[in-house]
Each structure stands twice: as structure tokens, then as C-alpha cells.
Amino acid sequence: MNVSRPVRFVDGAAVRCHDVAMDDVVDFYRGPGQLVAAIDAALTGAGVDRDSLRPADLASVDEFHIRGRAATTEIAEALRLSPDSHVLDLGSGLGGPARTLAELTGCTVTGVDLTPDFVEVATALSEWTGLGDRTHFRVGDATATGLQDAAFDAAFTVHVAMNISDKPALYAEALRVLRPGGRFVAYDVLQGEGGDVRYPVPWADDASTSFLATPPEMRDLLAAAGFEVVAEVDSSDESLAWFREVRARVERDGPPPVSFGAFLGERFGQMAVNQVTNLAERRIRTVMFTCVRPG
Ligand SMILES: C[S@@+](CC[C@H](N)C(=O)[O-])C[C@H]1O[C@@H](n2cnc3c(N)ncnc32)[C@H](O)[C@@H]1O
């Protein structure tokens, strides 16, 4: 039986929905609005020199995942990129990982994200950092991007699958758009063995938009999609240490000019506390899978 999926419209474009939680996901992330102006004002207020703005200066707001820019650097290495590489970022957020990859390797990155406000910010921040020609962002669903088959040399996704219940569709889409022999990295928060996640967390207020796979489930999902998994690295201990370093830095130097609180609001404080508890009690794990589409 051919069951058609519901369609929602984002920025005038039809986006096929795999689950009704997508509207709730966008509502969770979008924040109070006027996000470009808010980030602009925060940077100006902190005296950040806009003429010499580099991706690293924005990491406190645009590398929206555990271990920030350090994890993105690992992804750049795992993907084995060159200046000729065209890379797809599934769930590109505010574009920090895309800009870091473009800056480190000279590659070109296309980012797809469900939240229109984030796509607007990602596009603006790329212009501000002089990377507008090598990073491009569009609104879309990572499970059905509408992009051409085998169009990318490499693909990655960072802390996105937690919001996606239809994981087979996500990894099938990653495989479909990747050229044979191309590499795919999935760096995500996984369900640990320590019990249910304590909410709120920086990807969900509650379990209704949170769908964590366990490490064995991830292995099965990637293999079922057709990937060969060539590396699996659990960074949960490093993630815990990273949170402690961030906290020590804030206590020593004060908060950064702009942070995830710009869109998550005051709830971000409790979310950060819960993240540390979730990691310490192994309710969550951070794991990076490096895969190859067989050629
Ligand atoms: C925690 S943020 C991570 C953003 C970015 N990958 C990073 O590491 O900075 C999760 C992102 O996933 C996006 N997202 C969630 N579900 C999605 C879907 N089905 N398709 C595309 N993006 C999605 C959200 O809009 C949000 O930008």
C-alpha cells in the first residue's frame, strides 16, 4: 500500500513530514525571534571586532553540540576532506560545523535544517565570517532533502537524530545523497544504560520530541541503511570533562558574549545541569560513527 506522508510548508517550500513532532521540534528551537539581530547586538555589545570575525569566535552559539568545535575538528579528520569536496550537513543548525569544516579544509558545505530561523542565522553568520561562498543553507527535512542522488563527496550529522523518530529514513537519505565510496559521520547523543533521560535537555523539553537510539541500535540502523561502519568512538568521558571545562572557564572569565541561551532562553541553565547529570549517570552517551558508502 502506498501511504502518502503529510506535507508542511516552510518558507513556501513543501516539506514532507515523517512524523507530526516536527512542528514541535521547530517550536522548541526557534526561540523568541529576531535571532540574527540578537546575536549581532550581543557581539557588538561585547566589543567583538566584526571585520576580523572568525568561526571560532562564534563557537559558543553556533557549535550547538557537546564538545563544540573540538568534536567538529574530529569530524573534519574522519571525513578526509579536500578543497574539492562537496559536503552535506544534515541538520546544520546555526551553521558552526559547516563553517569550521569549510575553514579547516577549504571544502564547500550545503546545510539542511528544519528550523527556518536557524537557516537565516546560519546564512548571516557565514556572510559575517567571509564564508558565504563556501557554506550554503536551506530549509528542509533531513529524512527527505529532495537533493540529487550521489551528489555529495561526504556527509555528516551532529546532534540531530535525537529529534528524529524515523531513523531508517534519515540514514537511508544520507546514503542516497552520498557518492559510492563517500564517507558519512554521525555524531549523536545516544541512550545510555543508566536510565531515562532527565528533561529538559538542549534538544527537547520532554520525551515527546526525543528519540534516542542505543549504541547497538545505531550499529544496526547504519548497517541496515547500507553503510559500512569503519569506526565507532564513545566520547562520553570527554563530554563530561568538556562540560566541567566550560563551567570552569565561565567562572574564571565570565559568560561568552553570546550562547545557546539566545534561543533556548532561561531554560538553558537547567538543561546544562541536566546534561551533566545525564552524562555522569550514563543516561546518555556521546558516540561518533564513521561510515563508508560501499563503492
Ligand atoms: C542540537 S541542534 C544541532 C545543530 C548543528 N548540527 C550543530 O551541531 O551545531 C539540532 C538541529 O537539528 C535540527 N533538526 C531537527 N530535526 C530535523 C529534521 N528532521 N531535519 C532537519 N533538521 C532537523 C534542528 O532544527 C536543530 O537545528
CATH number at residue 113: 3.40.50.150
Residue 2 lies in a domain: no
Q: Residue 6 pLDDT more than 80?
A: no
Cis omega (within 30 of 0) on the bond before 257?
no
Average pLDDT in the chain: 92
Residue 1 lies in a domain: no
| DSSP three-state, residue 139 | strand
Q: Tell me the mean pLDDT in the region 207-211.
A: 95
Residue 189 lies in a domain: yes
**253: Cβ contacts below 8 Å, ≥ 6 apart:** none
Biggest CA pair distance of the chain: 61
Half-sphere exposure of 92 (CA within 13 A, CB side): 32
Q: What is the pLDDT of residue 270?
A: 96
| DSSP three-state, residue 144 | strand
Any residues with Cβ below 6 Å from ligand 1, and which? Answer: 25, 29, 63-65, 91-93, 96-97, 112-115, 118, 141-143, 158-160, 163-164, 203
Residue 76 lies in a domain: yes
For 86-116, the pLDDT digits (tens) are 999 999 999 999 999 999 999 999 999 999 9
The closest residue, in CA terms, to atom 17 on ligand 1 is 114
Q: Tell me the mean pLDDT in the region 202-222.
A: 97
- Of 15-19, 138-142, 155-159, the least confident: 15-19
Q: What is the pLDDT of residue 12?
A: 44
Residue 104 lies in a domain: yes
CA angle 31, 33, 37 (to 5 degrees): 120
Q: What is the pLDDT of residue 16?
A: 46
How long a stretch of residues is the chain?
295
Domain count within the chain: 1
- Please tell me which residue, 17 or 291, carries the higher pLDDT value: 291
Domain that holds residue 141: 7-292
pTM of the model: 0.93
Residue 19 lies in a domain: yes
